[in-house]
Amino acid sequence: MANCDYTLATNIAEDCSNPMVNGLKSIGYIGNFDDLDKSGSTRTGNKITTLALKDDAKLVKVYQAGKTPFNGTNSALVVGDYKNKFTKTVNFVIFENGAAATENIVDKLANGKFFFVLENNYQGVSGDGAFEVVGYENGASAAEITNAKYDDNVGGAWVCSMTEESAPTSGVFMLATGGVEATRTALEALC
């Protein structure tokens, strides 16, 4: 019987020539968790180089207006008796309301299981921190969906919070061979 090795594999330091910045870009992607083709995807450790979807499946773009897109999105450690895991949360706003929006977006989000690809403002030294994938391991489900008619911040839009619970890793990132631009191209091709 083997014991897991949890020793550090790299130095903990700040890259002074490439300081970390917070925040996310305004365009993200969402897909149905069941549409992920993990056997066709290429993942090594916490890095995905090829993201594959099942036949006829597509990603959908999520556009977030304003200065703080996906505000409140985070990952948090959950301490367990035998093993620690992570809860990853993606917050976003649906700037639409009506029969089509509620039927085709809000109602689906309320009961489905999804994954997100979000682009960080901080790309990392080699670009491997650019695209974070939330929901790849266990899927993300609705934690809260509200429509506050008099919320001046969102103008009566739907505010959504989706969580992936009990994720074994703190972060999964996507970087296609060819770098950040190649990753954007690959994501657009899946839309």
Determine what percent of the chain is predicted with pLDDT higher than 70. 99
pLDDT band at 14; cut points 50, 70, 90: confident
Q: Is the pLDDT of residue 156 over 80?
A: yes
Q: Is the pLDDT of residue 5 over 80?
A: no
C-beta separation of 160 from 175 below 8 A: no
Q: What letter does residue 2 receive in the DSSP assignment?
A: P
Burial of 154 (0-12, 13-18, 19+ CB in 10 A): middle
C-beta separation of 23 from 121 below 8 A: yes
How many C-beta neighbours within 10 Å does residue 62 have?
21
**What tens digit of pLDDT does each residue of 72-88 get?**
999 999 999 999 999 99
**What tens digit of pLDDT does each residue of 29-69 get?**
999 999 999 999 999 999 999 999 999 999 999 999 899 99
Averaged pLDDT for residues 17-32:
95
pLDDT band at 122; cut points 50, 70, 90: very high
Q: What letter does residue 103 receive in the DSSP assignment?
A: I
Output 156 or 108, whichever has higher pLDDT: 108
pTM to 2 decimals? 0.94
Question: What pLDDT is stored for residue 18 in this prediction?
Answer: 86
Q: Is the pLDDT of residue 188 over 80?
A: yes
Question: What pLDDT is stored for residue 107 in this prediction?
Answer: 97
Output 151 or 70, whichever has higher pLDDT: 70
